[in-house]
Amino acid sequence: MADMTHDPTADGLDLIKAALGPKGILAGEAAAPLLREWRGRWTGRPCLIAAPATTAEVARIVSIAADHGLAITPQGGNTGLVGGQMAMNGEVLLTLRRLNRVRKVSPLDNSLIVEAGVTLAEAQAAAAGVDRLFPLSIGSEGSCQIGGVISTNAGGVNVLRYGNMRDLVLGVEAVLPSGEIWNGLKRLRKDNTGYDLKQLFIGGEGTLGVVTAAALKLFPRPREKSTVFVALKSPDAALKLLSRAQDASGGGVTSFELMSRAILALVFKNIPDTRDPIAGEHPWYALIEFSAGREARLSALVETLLEDALRADEIADAAVAANEKQAADFWRLRHSMAAAMVPEGGQAKYDVSVPVASVPDFLGAADAAVLKIAPKARIIAFGHMGDGNIHYDILQPVGIAREEFAQAAAAIEVAVYDAIDRFEGSISAEHGVGVARREDIARRKQRAEMEMMRAVKNALDPKGVMNPGKML
Ligand SMILES: Cc1cc2nc3c(=O)[nH]c(=O)nc-3n(C[C@H](O)[C@H](O)[C@H](O)COP(=O)(O)OP(=O)(O)OC[C@H]3O[C@@H](n4cnc5c(N)ncnc54)[C@H](O)[C@@H]3O)c2cc1C
């Protein structure tokens, strides 16, 4: 007679422990950072933390999980902002940190093959080592991993010129929910032989399999850069300046980051050793980076551009970085913005994208709607204006309790989402869905879209092994 009390998952856990040995199982102090989301929003409660070192070991774990009723949550650098990497319901947490080899660097192909646990900064360095550029750049690049940036289809500050992660991946190696290994590590620029299956894993948030390695696109390294901080009257002026800068540089604008005075003031208040690049206070600013090949004479081009913009009343003032240190100081202001908000109390955060030309009107409409609900709300807007992607955050008003602010949060959310809909935008431009936006996408996407997504999930993962409760 079958033993009705026997739990097959316990057998599965024993098999995983035996397959990986003590080095491949994390506990205690080594495990603690993997269980905490960096802002403290979510806490992990996995049944086991597995740290495989090879693709074959990942495949073995997933196959055991599929056979024994276990679920798996993959984790990269644990820098995701929507909770997708947290194993909150007794899943096996699978960290990719030991899959950290650079497998092949091919400057003549302009390609790089790395394993999933290589950090973004290490991938950039591997490219630089052969005089090439891997252009994806985000504030968390020292910690986030290639498997994570693929699985979240990360964007960042260079999307305007090079695209987001989806544009930068040539091939993917992944372990499917059955435990089978799919070697899709082709380095082809052209391959029209059916569905482009790697796209399922890019932005897949670990729900369709575990990315174990990837072939990435490399580019020539820019020989010249110019970094400029400008003061502006309005987002509308920023839009005109963006267009002027793209025209004048022949597409040489690598980044165009918009920021309001409100967020810059919080950086100066909460982040040590930061200072204003431009005298006086202005309502808006933009950080612009141009890059080009050796012959571009960028500084002359930028000087003429700024003079023209000043004459056209598009900018009020400008500071051009005189050297790399000054450029790094400008970028530090931009990269400190998320951290600068943390000490300021409750926050409602939105990662919005709208068509680039609609950014000024979106900001006007959203601000008016939010202030109607919470007249003292502190609205913080900044981000990748060149991609139409604005981080639109509402901070707890000064002198109002966190609980009181939380009561207004639901109405604020409706107001912001309505403004996004009006401008045919997205409620998650680059941070993904995870657990934070799961119910929102189910409510807002077209029925046909949700059905196609569920059909893909059911076809690849009928047992629900991969990252349950995330995205779908
Ligand atoms: C300071 C800061 C700045 C940021 N700036 C930006 C920005 O400008 N642009 C932007 O797009 N994002 C930004 N992010 C968020 C961004 O999503 C992450 O930094 C990064 O893309 C996630 O990589 P990670 O390795 O940390 O993944 P994790 O956080 O560990 O995981 C993220 C998701 O991917 C899944 N996953 C991870 N590894 C794998 C794998 N190998 N196979 C399958 N699934 C996997 C996880 O299950 C989870 O669903 C920022 C985050 C921080 C903290």
Interval 26-33 mean pLDDT: 94
pLDDT of residue 296: 65
* pLDDT tens, position by position, 162-214: 999 999 999 999 999 999 999 999 999 999 999 999 999 999 999 999 999 99
**Mean pLDDT over all residues of the chain?**
95
> 235-249 and 298-311 helices cross at what angle (nearest 10)?
140
Atom of ligand 1 nearest to the CA of 81: 15
pLDDT of residue 164: 97
Q: Percent of the chain beyond pLDDT 70? A: 99
The alpha carbon of 210 and the centre of ligand 1 are apart by a number of angstroms equal to 14
The alpha carbon of 470 and the centre of ligand 1 are apart by a number of angstroms equal to 14
pLDDT of residue 304: 96
Q: How confident is the model at residue 276 (pLDDT cuts 50, 70, 90)?
A: very high
pLDDT of residue 345: 86
Residue 1 above 70 pLDDT? no
Record the pTM.
0.94
Secondary structure (3-state) at 306: helix
Nearest CA to ligand 1 atom 12: 154
Q: How confident is the model at residue 3 (pLDDT cuts 50, 70, 90)?
A: low
Question: H or E element: which one contains 451?
Answer: helix 447-460
The alpha carbon of 167 and the centre of ligand 1 are apart by a number of angstroms equal to 17
Does the CB atom of residue 75 touch ligand 1 within 6 A?
yes
pLDDT of residue 158: 94
| CA neighbor of 131 nearest in space, from 112, 150, 115 | 112
The alpha carbon of 452 and the centre of ligand 1 are apart by a number of angstroms equal to 24
What are the tokens at 379? 């609205």
**Long-range contact pairs involving 319-326 (C-beta distance under 8 Å, separation at least 24):** 319/228, 319/229, 319/230, 319/277, 319/278, 320/226, 320/227, 320/228, 321/226, 321/227, 321/228, 321/229, 326/227
Residue 294 above 80 pLDDT? no
pLDDT of residue 295: 67
The alpha carbon of 333 and the centre of ligand 1 are apart by a number of angstroms equal to 21
CB 135 within 8 A of CB 362: no
Q: How confident is the model at residue 293 (pLDDT cuts 50, 70, 90)?
A: confident
Residue 2 above 60 pLDDT? no
Does the CB atom of residue 152 touch ligand 1 within 6 A?
yes
* pLDDT tens, position by position, 416-467: 999 999 999 999 999 999 999 999 999 989 999 999 999 999 999 999 999 9
pLDDT of residue 398: 85
Residue 44 above 80 pLDDT? yes
Does the CB atom of residue 164 touch ligand 1 within 6 A?
no
pLDDT of residue 83: 97
Residue 405 above 90 pLDDT? no
Q: How confident is the model at residue 289 (pLDDT cuts 50, 70, 90)?
A: very high
Does the CB atom of residue 338 touch ligand 1 within 6 A?
yes
